Structure formats: C-alpha cells, structure tokens
Amino acid sequence: LSEIMAKQGIVLKSFPWATESIWLTDWFDKEWLFHVLLIPFLSLGKTLGPQFFILFLNLMIVSSLWYFLRTLKVEPKKAFFWILILPWCCWGVFWVRLTMCRPHLVSYSILFFSLGAMLKRRHLLLAAISLLYALSYTGHWQLLGLVLIFDVFYILFDENGSWRRNLKFGRPMLMAAILGMALGEFLHPN
C-alpha cells in the first residue's frame, strides 16, 4: 500500500485491487500515517526498506519507553537495565511481533509517549499524541480508557499512592485525548 501511495499520492479514494469488497470504491486506510511513514524507507527496496522501517520503529519504542521511565524518575542506569530486560519478561510471541512490519509498532511508541504525557500532566502533548494515534492505528480509541483510569486515579490518590483526604480535581487529561482524537478523525484523509 505504501508503494502505491508513493506512486499515486498519499490519499487514495479507491482500492481497485479489492475486487470483491466494498473497499473497491469506498476505500478507508485505517492506518494511514503508518503507510505514509513507510514510504521514505521504500527507496531502499521492497525488502530492505521495510526491514529498516522495523528497526526504526523499534528504536522509537525504545525511545518512548526511555521517555516513560525517565518520567517516572527512574535513574538512567536503571532505566537502561529495564529496557534491556523487558523483552525477556515477555512471551515469545511478543518477540515475533517486534519483527513484523505492522502498525502495532507505531502504537507501542504512542502508548509509552502517552503514558509519559499523562504522568507529566501535559495536556497539549497528550492531545497531539492522540491526534497522531487517530491517524496511524485502528485501535487508537483504546487510549481513552487508559486516560480515564489515569484521571480517576489522579483525583483519588496522591503521588505516593495514598488516598487523598480532599479530592483533587484539575483539567481532565481525558478531554485533551478526546479533542486530539476528534481532530485526528477530522483530519484523516479517508
């Protein structure tokens, strides 16, 4: 799909290769930004390009995990250690998923960046990340549940995990995520 977009433009209105599907005339690229991000890597070829794209996305996952751990104030040496052992804590299928040229690799990065933005209470950053999520991954709506849980915990618990005597209300992060996603849905070319 990225190769077709590179030749015909990044906004496709039909998908003539799906001859027995509604996509023939009513095309919707649910992972549009993922396909756009892959286009520059195709200059390396159909095989080598996606392989380098996978490496790039895995570096993005590591970067976003680093950002998240540093947001939690984990010391650099310990953060590096946790990044190194994390894959060993996961079942074998996770390793396979890290080698697949699929949009979930973008989603992992966005998830860790979102968690860091929530912890820092950066509303605009979360809105921007949510916008990118809506453009790049079909399961972006799941982030709203995490943000809602975060907002509830922010109201009920302090930074040490103790119950608040007086509930703390602030600007909800959920509104920033909803607005970012709504704008992403509006801007989505399909």
For the stretch 58-97, pLDDT in tens is 999 999 999 999 999 999 999 999 888 877 777 777 778 8
For the stretch 12-56, pLDDT in tens is 877 777 777 766 666 778 899 999 999 999 999 999 999 999 999
Nearby residues of 183 by Cβ (< 8 Å), 6 or more positions away:
127, 131, 134
In this structure, the number of other CB atoms found within 10 A of the CB of residue 47 comes to 7
Nearest in space to 67 (alpha carbons), one of 125, 133, 141:
125
Higher pLDDT, 25 or 172: 172
Position 115 scores a pLDDT of: 94
The arithmetic mean of pLDDT across residues 162-178, rounded, is: 88
Instruction: Give me the chain's average pLDDT, please.
Output: 89
On the CB side of 117, CA atoms within 13 Å amount to: 24
